[in-house]
Amino acid sequence: MSRKGSRPVPLTHGGEAPLSHTAGLWRTTYGGRDHVFKVQLNLDAVRDARFHPLKQQILQRCLRAGVPVPLAVPTRAGEPMARRNGHVCELIPLVAGTGSAHSTSAQAQAVITTGLALRSVLDALPRELVLGMATIPLPALVDEPDWRFALDDDVDRLLPVARARGDSWGRIARDALEGLALARPLLARARTELMAVPASRLRIIHGDLHHHHFLFGADGRPDVVAVLDFDNLTVGDRLLDLAWVAETSGRVRGGARALRTTMDSFLSQAVDRGLLARGEARLLMPLLIAQAVPVVVDIAKDILERDLLSPAWTGYLELLDTRRRLALHQLLSTAASDETDLPRPRTEHDR
């Protein structure tokens, strides 16, 4: 990084800071182009040094396959990041694009196409990359990372506290916890399948494909011009990425008909690409809800027990809204029941 740039200023989209609780993001120029200077501020979230070369290899494979991902500018030593006082620092080209919490039908289709293309790339990664990533744990940034204990112990304990609290923060925590309580029967039915993940589904996953991480063309085109934030790459259930793609594309405008059309398209394309097998659609939202349980519970603890009242909590709780996912589960299950003899997804390891 030898070419001088401008003094960084906080990055904003539409006047608001990006939704991030572990990293700081600043806008700067470098070599005459706009870039994002990203610093991992929370040292607990910093990944093992082995992670970054693996991440770089994965991003390069995504680019070669046509999945748009921004690559960090290498340091003078050729590394994709630098460390300063334990903090990981990256300089990433700023992509001219826009995010959308509620997409048009065309944008929703672009999310499906790009998200499934990404999943195909990750499924085809060579075994040595998967084995290397499997040795690098994902940092646990919550009190109780096991969704079963967080759901069974903390929700029951925190709900009465939230209901007894009369202010707006109490209502925010109550609504989130009541949503998790509504999901308890679904998670109980899927509990065994969620915990006993077959080896065929253990792959490198992005793990965080929400709507903040898809950028559409700034010129009004619905194309996805960038998929962002691969910092949570890990080895896990590959269905989680498919669940995120379904949820993100399910934020489509146009009411029930547009949503049904979008989910039909998601299922059809996922099956046609060999990414989704018979019976797996009913696991997507349970997986996504289970992933969110520890985070939602931790935010509720911040509100109710630690009195940490961050404006960001409402954004996270909207992102992780359990009721929306329960409704989407019903729609996906109904749509999938119309399918017949779905194939088993094939990966590079099957060839």
Q: What is the pLDDT of residues 254-300, one digit of tens each?
A: 999 999 999 999 999 999 999 999 889 999 999 999 999 999 999 99
pLDDT at 226: 97
pLDDT at 117: 98
Between the alpha carbon of residue 131 and those of residues 223, 230, 268, 287, the distances in Å are 33, 18, 31, 23
pLDDT at 284: 98
Tokens for 269, please give them: 């394309």
What type of residue sits at position 2?
S
Tokens for 7, please give them: 């003094």
Please list, residue by residue across 156-188, b when 16 or more beta carbons sit within 10 angstroms of its beta carbon and e when fewer do: eebbebbeebeeebbebbbebbbbbeebeebbe
Tokens for 218, please give them: 């700034």
Angle ∠(120,126,127) on CA atoms, nearest 5:
120
Phi/psi at 276 (nearest 5 deg)?
-135, 130
Low-confidence ranges of the chain (pLDDT < 50): 1-2, 340-351
Return the closest-CA partner of residue 148 out of 297, 349, 335, 348.
297
User: What burial class does residue 300 get, using C-beta atoms within 10 Å of its C-beta: 0-12 exposed, 13-18 middle, 19+ buried?
Assistant: buried
Average of per-residue pLDDT values in the chain: 92
C-beta of residue 143 within 8 angstroms of C-beta of residue 301: yes
